[in-house]
């Protein structure tokens, strides 16, 4: 790194009569007369700052600390010394911290800043008494951020018990400022450190002192944690009475009602008063859970009457409402209005692809998914979901080979992802690539031993292919034990019984599953068992029901071709 350049004075004037004529011709280049003084890097402030920043960029904290420590000695800027202190603390280098602290003090660090740093050093040494003394100086210093710094220091302690002890000894009612937020922050900090009694006392004292909406809300949350929903509800009502336009409080109260089983009450409460995007989202969720079509329609109409900018803020919610109200074209329009920078942008494209596929515009759906894969190529989490979506669309359309390929592409993004392996196993199974399906299901069970879905899927696949029936029985029985009332698992068990020739048991099991849920595949299996037993009329009646449910069902087509009922 080049150092500072010092210019030497030009030696005299060429026209001065007393100057003797040089025997050597003078250079024609004035720069030849410059003298350059190059500082060594360790004395060059700019070099040290750059070295420190480069070290930070490559996560080399010790290197950054050393460079900023040297820089602090070369400048009168207290911010550089402060940075040196912070970096030395980060790597828990006591000597470097003390040296940087001494320099920072010389450059004008406040008493509170000095006390905070000394408290950190004492905590690292395990000197609780000295840490307490310095923390008391910090919170008494009058610095604007004193209590925020106190909280950070407590959180940085290696020993939670030590941190909790200091919190209770220093953050006392006589020291805490006249600020409800500070009291609640200390109460929350105590809760996080396992000091429940301290947290409760401090929160209640804050409520008694300030009578503010936020203190009532915090106390309400404490009551809820203590499994006192009635007490929590009463306190939330007081909080809302203090600040009826506070959207955060309104949402918290509605969530409390919903979690307590009163979703209708939560919906009624949110339908009045000030509204924002979060309120509309929760109202939509509650209406969907209740399958309240009338409520959804009212909500949809209400948002439609909002100004354009507010409609844009709720575009994703409106898309969801339109879908649930069977307005796919309008849903597409709303999803198209979701801004690229919105946190819902990815989900809006996902829903748009699903709608397009449902409309029979399969090429458009896959094209949109391909755009997602390009747009999120540098974000593995979303890229994985995009490949998974592509596979699901192919599965819906019965293109199982292409679905398996999409799942394979997803697994190149994240190897051994259980969800993608399970999906690919299903695709292989449907494509009659049984060995590949079995391999994927086995791998899922290696990654997630005892997984119910994978156990059932592997058991069914083995039973359907009439192989390893004892293993299939063990797998399906394990799934049945975990979910005794699941019709899909009952279907697997009934089909296994059929493969073993246990027709009475198969019919009983499959009739139970068919009665619990009119699923096309269960109905096809029941019909085949009935046909095998010679009950052809009953089998045809069940197949007719299946045809009404799902006329394009692949199992239905293959069974009818085989049985020719």
DSSP state of 119: H
Q: 445 and 451 in contact (C-beta within 8 Å)?
A: yes
DSSP of 446-493: HHSTT-HHHHHHHHHHHHHTT--HHHHHHHHHHHHHH-TT-HHHHHHH
Q: 59 and 72 in contact (C-beta within 8 Å)?
A: no
DSSP state of 228: -
Q: Give residue 7's pLDDT.
A: 27
Detail the DSSP E strand segments found in 479-548: none
Spatial CA neighbour of 389 closest among 375, 410, 374: 410
CA dist 87 and 421 (Å) reads 44
- Token pair, residue 249, equals 């409080």
Express each pLDDT in 194-247 by its tens digit. Answer: 999 999 999 999 999 999 999 999 999 888 888 898 999 999 999 999 999 888
Give me Rg for the CA atoms of the chain.
Answer: 36
CA dist 46 and 2 (Å) reads 10
- Non-local (6+) Cβ contacts of 173 within 8 A are 202, 205
With tokens 């596929």, the residue in question is 357
Continuous H helices in 171-276: 180-192, 196-210, 213-225, 229-242, 247-259, 263-270
Q: 89 and 83 in contact (C-beta within 8 Å)?
A: no
DSSP state of 126: T
Collapsing DSSP to helix, strand or coil, 499 comes out as helix
Q: 100 and 84 in contact (C-beta within 8 Å)?
A: yes
- Token pair, residue 234, equals 């009463």
Q: What residue ranges of the chain have pLDDT lower than 50?
A: 1-28, 30-38
Global pTM exceeds 0.85 = no
With tokens 């939330």, the residue in question is 236
Q: 67 and 79 in contact (C-beta within 8 Å)?
A: no
Q: 276 and 245 in contact (C-beta within 8 Å)?
A: no
Q: Give residue 16's pLDDT.
A: 39
Q: 302 and 308 in contact (C-beta within 8 Å)?
A: no
Spatial CA neighbour of 485 closest among 462, 508, 516: 516
Q: Give residue 225's pLDDT.
A: 85
Q: 84 and 72 in contact (C-beta within 8 Å)?
A: yes
């Amino acid at each position: 790194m080049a150092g500072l350049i010092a210019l030497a004075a030009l030696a005299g004037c060429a026209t001065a009569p007393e100057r003797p004529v040089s025997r050597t011709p003078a250079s024609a280049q004035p720069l030849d007369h410059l003298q350059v003084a190059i500082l060594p890097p360790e004395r060059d402030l700019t070099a040290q700052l750059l070295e420190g920043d480069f070290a930070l960029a490559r996560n080399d904290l010790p290197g950054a600390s050393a460079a900023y420590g040297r820089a602090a000695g070369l400048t009168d800027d207290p911010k550089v010394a402060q940075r040196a202190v912070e970096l030395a603390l980060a790597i828990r280098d006591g000597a470097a911290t003390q040296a940087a602290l001494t320099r920072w003090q010389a450059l004008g660090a406040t008493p509170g800043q000095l006390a905070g740093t000394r408290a950190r050093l004492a905590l690292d040494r395990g000197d609780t008494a000295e840490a307490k003394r310095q923390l008391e100086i910090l919170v008494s210093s009058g610095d604007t951020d004193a209590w925020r710094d106190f909280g950070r220091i407590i959180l940085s302690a290696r020993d939670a018990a030590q941190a909790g002890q200091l919190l209770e000894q220093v953050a006392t009612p006589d020291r805490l400022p006249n600020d409800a937020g500070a009291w609640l922050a200390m109460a929350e900090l105590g809760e996080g450190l396992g000091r429940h009694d301290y947290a409760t006392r401090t929160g209640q004292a804050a409520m008694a002192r300030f009578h503010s909406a936020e203190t009532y809300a915090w106390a309400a949350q404490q009551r809820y944690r203590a499994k006192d929903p009635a007490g929590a509800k009463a306190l939330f009502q007081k909080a809302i009475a203090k600040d009826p336009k506070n959207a955060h409080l309104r949402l918290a109260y509605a969530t409390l009602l919903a979690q307590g089983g009163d979703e209708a009450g939560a919906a009624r409460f949110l339908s009045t008063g000030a509204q924002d995007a979060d309120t509309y989202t929760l109202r939509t969720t509650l209406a969907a859970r209740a399958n309240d079509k009338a409520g959804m329609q009212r909500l949809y109409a209400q948002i439609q009457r909002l100004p354009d900018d507010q409609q844009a803020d709720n575009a994703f919610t409106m898309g969801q409402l339109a879908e649930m109200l069977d307005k796919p074209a309008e849903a597409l329009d709303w999803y198209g209005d979701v801004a690229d920078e919105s946190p819902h942008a990815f989900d809006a494209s996902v829903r748009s692809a699903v709608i397009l596929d449902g409309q029979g515009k399969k090429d458009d759906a896959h094209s949109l998914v391909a755009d997602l894969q390009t747009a999120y190529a540098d974000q593995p989490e979303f890229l994985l979901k995009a490949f998974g979506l592509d596979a699901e669309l192919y599965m819906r359309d019965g293109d199982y080979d292409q679905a398996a390929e999409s799942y394979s592409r997803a697994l190149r993004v994240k190897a051994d992802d259980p969800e993608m392996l399970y999906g690919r196993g299903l695709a292989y199974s449907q494509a009659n690539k049984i060995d590949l399906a079995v391999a994927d299901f086995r791998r899922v069970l290696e990654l997630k031993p005892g997984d119910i879905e994978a156990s059932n899927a592997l058991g069914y696949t083995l039973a359907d292919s009439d192989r390893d029936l004892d293993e299939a029985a063990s797998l399906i029985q394990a799934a049945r034990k975990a979910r005794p009332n699941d019709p899909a698992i009952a279907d697997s068990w009934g089909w296994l019984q059929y493969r073993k020739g246990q027709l009475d048991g198969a019919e009983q099991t499959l009739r139970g599953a068919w009665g619990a849920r009119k699923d096309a595949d269960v109905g096809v299996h029941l019909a085949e068992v009935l046909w095998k037993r010679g009950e052809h009329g009953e089998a045809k009646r069940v197949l007719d029901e299946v045809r009404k449910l799902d006329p394009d069902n692949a199992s239905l087509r293959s069974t009818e071709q085989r049985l020719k009922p």
